Amino acid sequence: MDIGWEILLLLAVVALLAGCLDTLAGGGGLITVPALMLAGLPPLEALATNKLQAPAGTGMATYQVIRKHGVRWADVRWPMLWAFLGSVAGTIAILFVSADALEIVIPVVLALIAAYFLFVPKSHEPPAKPRMSDPAYEATVVPAIGAYDGAFGPGTGSLFALSGVALRALPLRRSTAIAKTLNFATNIASLIVFIIAGKIVWIVGAVMIAGQLIGAYIGSHILLRVNPMVLRVLIVVVSLVMLWRVLVS
């Protein structure tokens, strides 16, 4: 595929913005995937190429939150494995199912995320005690969100963060940090499947990796210092903007 350097440069800038946003509130995929499609990539190739550049951002964020003790490796290794397996299943499914089917699923998910944080009092604050045990949460909710990310993924970071708060009683900032590690696992899993399937446009994904690394580095330094209320507002805004983008596309 012949893509000019101007388009490649623009995609790198888009990836930088998406990497920063995705680290803070999720939703970077709905910035990068439409941008890839506008650059001329078919839908499935756009999804696949997005998964080449996305792990750069979530990988940088994962490294930073672990290095800065936002999370411990021991706390996330098993959830990451479940997320990985769920994403493999979701990615394999999308190879055989039209991505158009997700035009119904994605708006519903985004609307629910925004509505929860907007209308549930103190939704950024965890309940008094967990509603699910660690094993149950890791074996059901985590792979389910992973499968969604493998199939397409807009709002995956927000879903992981929201579920951690609502079901595991984690503070929003910690849950958002953990969400970065799970999202990294889902991105890697999906990338492996798409590589095997031969759906990636390598030059485009390689250029966008640089932008993702820079954006995620910036976002990860902000994440561990930001007020939870700011994260709540950002998640609502990002979800509503993504919802609008889906509905008008």
Domain boundaries along the sequence of the chain: 5-248
**Is residue 50's pLDDT more than 70?**
yes
pLDDT of residue 212: 85
Strands of 123-206 (E only): list them: none
- The residue behind tokens 């074996």 is 139
Q: CB–CB of 76/176 below 8 Å? A: no
Most confident segment among 103-107, 166-170, 210-214: 166-170
Give the residue-averaged pLDDT of 202-209: 91
pLDDT score, position 126: 80
Q: State the pLDDT at residue 116.
A: 67
Between the CA of residue 164 and those of 13, 30, 72, 160, 177, what are the distances in Å?
31, 22, 15, 6, 10
CA distance 211 to 197: 25
pLDDT confidence band for 79 (50 / 70 / 90): very high
Token couple for 145: 């969100």
Tokens of 68: 């800065």
Going from the C-alpha of 21 to that of each of 1, 28, 44, 201, the distances in angstroms are: 28, 6, 23, 24
Mean per-residue pLDDT over the chain, rounded: 82
Give residue 140's pLDDT.
97
Q: Model-level pTM greater than 0.85?
A: no
Q: Sorting pLDDT into bands at 50, 70 and 90, what band is 25? A: low
Q: By the 8 A CB rule, do 28 and 156 touch?
A: no
Of 37-46, 141-150, 178-187, 192-201, which gets the smallest average pLDDT?
37-46
What percent of the chain shows pLDDT beyond 70? 81
Q: What is the pLDDT of residues 105-162, one digit of tens each?
A: 667 766 776 676 677 656 567 888 899 999 999 999 999 999 989 987 767 887 898 8
Taking residues 35-56, report their average pLDDT: 84
Instruction: Please spell the DSSP secondary structure of 47-95, one letter per residue.
Output: HHHHHHHHHHHHHHHHHHHHHTTSS-HHHHHHHHHHHHHHHHHHHHHHH
C-alpha to C-alpha distance for 169 and 45, rounded to whole angstroms: 38
197 contacts: CB under 8 Å, gap ≥ 6: 48, 95
- 3-class DSSP state of 39: coil
The predicted structure's pLDDT at residue 229: 66
Which two structure tokens, joined as six digits, stand for 92?
Answer: 């394999």
- The pLDDT value recorded for residue 195 is 95
pLDDT of residue 223: 66
